[in-house]
Copies of this chain bind each other. A is one copy, B any other.
Amino acid sequence: MSSTTRGRIDKRQAILDGAFTVFARQGYAQAGVQDIALEAGVAKPTVYNHMTDKATLFRHAVEAAAMTALDQRVAALAPLGDPGDDLAATLEGVALALLRLHTDSRYCALRRLLYSEITHFPDILDIVKEYGLDRLNHALADRLARLALAGRLRTTDPDLAAEQFLALILGPLEARSQMGTRQLEEAELATIARTAVETFARAWVVS
C-alpha cells in the first residue's frame, strides 16, 4: 500500500470522524461543512472531493458510527457464551457493560442524530435496521437461546426475553440520564443493572 493511498484513506477517515463529531455536536442542519472541514483538518473542497453531498457525508458518517457502536455492544455479550455457575452475576456483568457503552457520549449523540433526522433521511432506516437495537436483540436472543437449551432459562421465547432484558436496562438509563444529558455514576449504573437482572431473573431464569 503506497503512502499516497494511505494518506488518502487517512484523510477520508478524518473527514468521516470529523463529520460525526460536528454533526453530533450541532445536529445536521446546524453543522456547517466548513466546521467539518476544520475539524477534519482539511479544506472545504476536500470534503466534497470525497463525499458528493452534505447529505451523503451525513449518511456515511452515521453509518460508520453505527457500525462500530454495534460491534462494541455485541462484543459485550461475550460472557454469556460461558456463563459459569452464577448466571445472575454474569447477566449483571453484561448489563453493566452495556450500560457503560450506552452512556458513552458518542453513542448518545448517535441516537440523537438518528432520532432527529430519521424523517429527513428515509434511508437512515436501513442503517437502523442493519446496525440498530434489532441487531443487538438478535445477538442477545441467540445467547439466551443457548442458555435455554442448556436448561438455564425458561425456553419459551428468547427474542422476547432479549427484548425485555434490554428494555429493563436501557429504559431506566434513558429516564435517569435525562435523554443522555446527565452522566450517571458507576454506582447508579450498577444499581440499574442489579435491579434489572433481578426482575429479569424472576421472569426467565430457572432457579
A195 sits at the interface (CB 8 A): yes
Partner of A160, one of B133, B180, B195: B195
B-side contacts of A115, CB under 8 Å: 111-112, 115-116, 179
Also in contact, A129 and B178, with CB within 8 A (given A30-B29, A119-B112, A195-B160): yes
B-side contacts of A111, CB under 8 Å: 115
B-side contacts of A171, CB under 8 Å: 163-164, 166-168, 170-171
Contact present for B175 and A164 (CB under 8 Å): no
**Smallest distance from the beta carbon of A53 to chain B beta carbons, Å?**
16
Complexed CA–CA distance, A120 and B26 (Å): 7
Assembly stoichiometry (copies): 4
**Smallest distance from the beta carbon of A173 to chain B beta carbons, Å?**
9
Which secondary structure characterizes the binding site on chain A?
A: helix
Also in contact, A112 and B120, with CB within 8 A (given A163-B172, A163-B175, A164-B195): no
Chain A positions near chain B (C-beta within 8 angstroms):
25-30, 111-120, 125, 128-129, 133-134, 137, 160, 163-164, 166-168, 170-172, 174-175, 178-181, 195-196, 198-200, 202-204
> 13 A–B contact pairs at CB < 8 A?
A27-B116, A30-B120, A112-B119, A115-B115, A115-B179, A118-B179, A119-B181, A125-B181, A128-B179, A160-B195, A166-B171, A167-B172, A167-B175
